[in-house]
Amino acid sequence: MKKSILFIALIAATGSLFAQKKMTTSGTVNFDATTSLDQLPKAENKTVIAAIDTKNGNIGFEVPMKNFTFGNPRIQEHFNGPKWLDSEKFPTATFKGGITNIASVNFSKDGTYDADVAGDLTIHGVTKPVKSTGKITVNGKTVSANTEFTIKLEDYGVDGPQIAAGKISKEPKIMVSADLQ
């Protein structure tokens, strides 16, 4: 929690000094680990802290793991438990990276732009490089960012009998969206 408050304070301070910083504390991450055997492992988190520097394309976000909500409370309990994501020990997931084709995105002109994103994703205390494509939409002073990618749970040290049994996807889909001001 202290890290989150410090992260928000730093972003807010730099955001007020430089107009090229855009941020939100209400971004959304959706997690879809459904399989043909189980359609319930889906979750949403609407408390994502996200920031983008429109000058250099740097992007960062922080996701409080306990704020994912599932339709089935039992799945949420497993998700946060010590045999899965161990949200007590690893309370957040983070991404630090940037838009690699920043010259293709004009933050001073309304429109929708394709964005290539690369950086480091940390989940369950493990950091791995990720690449994704997404959309950046500029509408006045608001910048909307959207992307979708998959991860391999085993890369982040997440396993369990439900994964082995095929009830949880080994490669869940992650969808990130944020409207930044």
Please give the pLDDT value at position 160: 79
| Number of Cβ within a 10 Å radius of residue 169 | 20
Query: Distance (Å, rounded) from C-alpha 18 to C-alpha 137?
Result: 20
Give the three-state DSSP class for 31. Answer: strand
In 68-172, where do the E strands start and end?
69-70, 92-99, 111-123, 126-139, 142-150
Q: Terminus-to-terminus CA distance in the chain, angstroms? A: 23
Domains within the chain, CATH numbers bracketed: 2-180 (2.40.128.110)
The one-character DSSP state at 170 is S
The one-character DSSP state at 156 is G
H or E segment and range at residue 63: strand 58-64
Query: Distance (Å, rounded) from C-alpha 181 to C-alpha 134?
Result: 18
User: Tokens 């301070």 identify what position?
Assistant: 13
Query: Distance (Å, rounded) from C-alpha 94 to C-alpha 41?
Result: 21
Please give the pLDDT value at position 15: 45
Per-residue pLDDT reduced to its tens digit, 63-84: 999 999 998 888 899 899 988 8
pLDDT level of residue 149 (50, 70, 90 thresholds): very high
Per-residue pLDDT reduced to its tens digit, 121-140: 999 999 999 999 999 999 99
pTM (two decimals): 0.87
pLDDT at 40 over 70: yes
12 to each of 8, 25, 64, 86, 179, how far by Cα in Å?
A: 6, 11, 18, 29, 16
H or E segment and range at residue 9: helix 2-17
